[in-house]
A and B are shown apart, each in its own frame.
Chain A
Amino acid sequence: MSVGTQERRSLAGLFAAFQRIGRRINIVPYLFILPAVIIYGLFNLGPVLASMVLSFFKWELLTPTSQFVGLKHYLYILRDKLFWNALSHNVLFLSMAVIVPVGVGLFLAVFMAEIGKGRTVYRSLLFLPAIFSGVVIAYVWKWIYHPFSGILNQLLGAVGLDFLTMSWLGNSRIALVSTFVAYAWASYGYSMVIFLAGLQSIDREIYDAAIVDGVNFFQKLFLITVPLLRDVFTFVITLRILTAMGVFSVIFILTGGGPYYATDVIGVYIYRMIGNYEMGWASAAATINAIIIVTMSVLFMRLREREL
């Protein structure tokens, strides 16, 4: 048997196999997912992957060229002090976020689960800031921080703490915390709602048994409630990873990253690069940031799953 016929025969076999699979494949499910896949592929996953690929090429806004530049953009970004400066602020945001939106949200939810009546009123009020756009949140706080007529300095003055009044957004040592407060204000209600839903799904009998054993509030919280809320914690913290590492509008509007880059974050850093048409740098920085975020959240979720 010559090589040619063998090849021909295997090709025919392959074709027949495809036909068999083709007849067995039900295309209906694919038709159902097709519109979603097209929109998601064209305007979300596609651009994300394109950004990764294009970060290795010389690239202007309208003309992605085929000139391969290798790791040039990455080396530039990794040597840029401003990149590390911005990234460190994101990480600081995230570590503060674990304390305030997550910690405060948990305590608020626990208090609300304990009291019977009035729960919905508290929930409505505490959740309220979470409904606003980052732009609205930022402008509300911009006026709160206003040096003369802002409510913060006015309140401090009214209670005789004049020495504490300051330029909350102009002082480079305090500006990052000031922007964080605006971010946190709109976040703890969000975490609280999730924790509360988790708490309400816990079987009350577990608590009844504990009360008989005479545990106090904190023992009950940390020995019973928190371990039972593992999955909820995973979700809430993952959410904070995403929002703290991706924070943009609050900082962009409150400080624009200033004064002197004291509140610069990756989102604003990348926005500046796009504004300067430095698409190669921007996509390299965006890729690094995306890898950090996706790895952090996937690792975190996986780790929690395995621990269970």
Chain B
Amino acid sequence: MINAKAQSWLRMLTFHVLLVVGSIVTVIPVVWVLMTSFKSNKEIRESALGLPARIRFENYVGAWTGAHFDRYFVNSVIVGVLTVAVVLIVGSLAAFAFARMRFAGNRAIFFLIFMGMTFPVTARIGPLLTFMYKLGLVDSRWALVFAYAAGSVPFSILMMRSFFRQFPEELEQAARIDGCSNLQFFLRVLLPLSTPALLTLGIFTFMGAWNEFMIALLLISKNALRTLPLGLMAFQSEFTTDFALSIAGINITAIPVILVYVIFQRSFIEGITAGALK
């Protein structure tokens, strides 16, 4: 009996050790980048691994004034928020129909939309560019909003559909007896009950828009309209030899994401697993 207990204790210890090692290896790059951002270039040259002599914010000040991170930040927020708004509205409306109504062609249409989850960005980028030029939307935030929203529509419908399906039929019947139309039932009953799912979808969509790179790279050329990934790239190619400044620039773009992650961690995880287990 004691032997078995010792064995299971040893096993737990092994798991913990492996997980600690894995966590350390995973976090080292982030910690190193944070640490290095407080060093001077001289310190980095002399010892890339050592702790900073003191906490100095000169690199951040330099990066902030050397590039227009404030502007890029605002652009990313605008594009992200608008994308989320569009996706939440059109996605949940469509998901409602797919989840709770029967209509001709619903399976075929759903399949065509679902297919969109497997398209790589390159498959649509050429005509998308041409189309945006024709619409006069190149170098406009709306181009990014529409392109990102279109990319997120399949996932949003898939996720909200399975969420809407959980509600019992009786709920709808009760609402009908009270004289609710489809739209009223959707707006007044279903949506308020779906706030956790909408929050998850919103966070997930926001991060997708916030992090997207290829479409932005091809659709935005004006410095004033750059989102953070583009701004970071421009900044890095300008200060390619200034180690300390470049590292601070990375952190300026990464820290807001880390903060959002710390606050909304559950929504991140749920967004990912929602697609997997349905």
Q: What A residues does B218 contact at CB under 8 A?
A: 271, 274
Closest to A235 in B: B276
Most buried by A among B29, B122, B210, B250: B122
Report Cα–Cα, A270/B103, bound state, in Å: 40
Report Cα–Cα, A47/B207, bound state, in Å: 24
Report Cα–Cα, A25/B106, bound state, in Å: 13
Q: What A residues does B122 contact at CB under 8 A?
A: 246, 248, 266-267, 270-271, 285-286, 289-290
Which of B123, B147, B229 has a CB less than 8 Å from the CB of A289?
B123
Q: What B residues does A289 contact at CB under 8 A?
A: 120, 122-123
Q: Please determine whether A36 and B113 come into contact, CB atoms closer than 8 angstroms.
A: yes
Q: In chain B between 75 and 114, which residues have their CB closer than 8 angstroms to a CB of chain A?
A: 86, 89-91, 93-94, 96-98, 101-104, 106, 109, 112-113
Q: In chain B between 1 and 38, which residues have their CB closer than 8 angstroms to a CB of chain A?
A: 11-12, 15-16, 18-19, 22-23, 26-30, 32-33, 36
Closest to A133 in B: B211
Nearest Cβ on chain A to B200's Cβ, whole angstroms: 13
Q: Is B214 an interface residue (CB 8 A)?
A: yes
Which of A39, A40, A136, A189 has a CB less than 8 Å from the CB of B232?
A136
**Contact (A40, B153) CB under 8 Å given A115-B16, A129-B30, A289-B120:** yes
Q: What B residues does A114 contact at CB under 8 A?
A: 11-12, 15
Report Cα–Cα, A81/B68, bound state, in Å: 41
Q: Please determine whether A29 and B233 come into contact, CB atoms closer than 8 angstroms.
A: no
Which of A135, A198, A274 has a CB less than 8 Å from the CB of B129?
A274
Closest to A301 in B: B118
Q: Is B57 an interface residue (CB 8 A)?
A: no
Q: Please determine whether A133 and B153 come into contact, CB atoms closer than 8 angstroms.
A: no
**Interface segment, one of B44-52, B59-67, B172-180:** B44-52
Q: Please determine whether A131 and B146 come into contact, CB atoms closer than 8 angstroms.
A: no
Nearest Cβ on chain A to B190's Cβ, whole angstroms: 12
Report Cα–Cα, A149/B182, bound state, in Å: 63
Q: What A residues does B217 contact at CB under 8 A?
A: 271
Interface secondary structure of B, over-half rule: helix
Q: Please determine whether B26 and A283 come into contact, CB atoms closer than 8 angstroms.
A: no
Q: Please determine whether A51 and B133 come into contact, CB atoms closer than 8 angstroms.
A: no
Q: Please determine whether B103 and A134 come into contact, CB atoms closer than 8 angstroms.
A: no
Q: Please determine whether B272 and A129 come into contact, CB atoms closer than 8 angstroms.
A: no
Q: Please determine whether A35 and B94 come into contact, CB atoms closer than 8 angstroms.
A: yes
Q: Is A197 an interface residue (CB 8 A)?
A: yes
Q: Please determine whether B124 and A47 come into contact, CB atoms closer than 8 angstroms.
A: yes
Q: Please determine whether B269 and A154 come into contact, CB atoms closer than 8 angstroms.
A: no
Q: Please determine whether A197 and B277 come into contact, CB atoms closer than 8 angstroms.
A: yes
Which of B125, B260, B261 has a CB less than 8 Å from the CB of A128?
B261
**Contact (A134, B213) CB under 8 Å given A125-B26, A190-B272:** yes
Q: Is B202 an interface residue (CB 8 A)?
A: no
Most buried by B among A43, A148, A294: A43
* B236-254 to A contact mask, C-beta < 8 Å, 1/0: 1000000100110010011
Give the bracket for the number of chain B residues in contact with chain A.
35 or more
Report Cα–Cα, A64/B27, bound state, in Å: 48
Q: What B residues does A42 contact at CB under 8 A?
A: 131, 146, 150
**Contact (A217, B11) CB under 8 Å given A33-B97, A36-B91, A46-B127:** yes
Q: What A residues does B260 contact at CB under 8 A?
A: 131
Q: What B residues does A141 contact at CB under 8 A?
A: 29
Q: Please determine whether A48 and B123 come into contact, CB atoms closer than 8 angstroms.
A: yes
Most buried by A among B22, B126, B147, B150: B126
Q: Please determine whether B121 and A126 come into contact, CB atoms closer than 8 angstroms.
A: no
Q: Please determine whether A33 and B109 come into contact, CB atoms closer than 8 angstroms.
A: yes
Q: Please determine whether B123 and A29 come into contact, CB atoms closer than 8 angstroms.
A: no
Closest to A116 in B: B12
Report Cα–Cα, A36/B262, bound state, in Å: 31
Closest to A267 in B: B122
Closest to B228 in A: A133
Report Cα–Cα, A93/B225, bound state, in Å: 33
Q: List 19 A-B contacts (CB under 8 A).
A: A32-B186, A42-B150, A44-B119, A45-B112, A47-B131, A51-B126, A51-B127, A114-B11, A114-B12, A133-B212, A133-B229, A135-B229, A151-B32, A197-B273, A242-B117, A242-B120, A248-B213, A267-B120, A274-B218
Known: A40-B150, A43-B149, A51-B123. 11 other contacts (CB 8 A): A26-B101, A29-B101, A36-B157, A43-B124, A132-B254, A132-B257, A135-B213, A151-B32, A231-B277, A283-B126, A294-B119
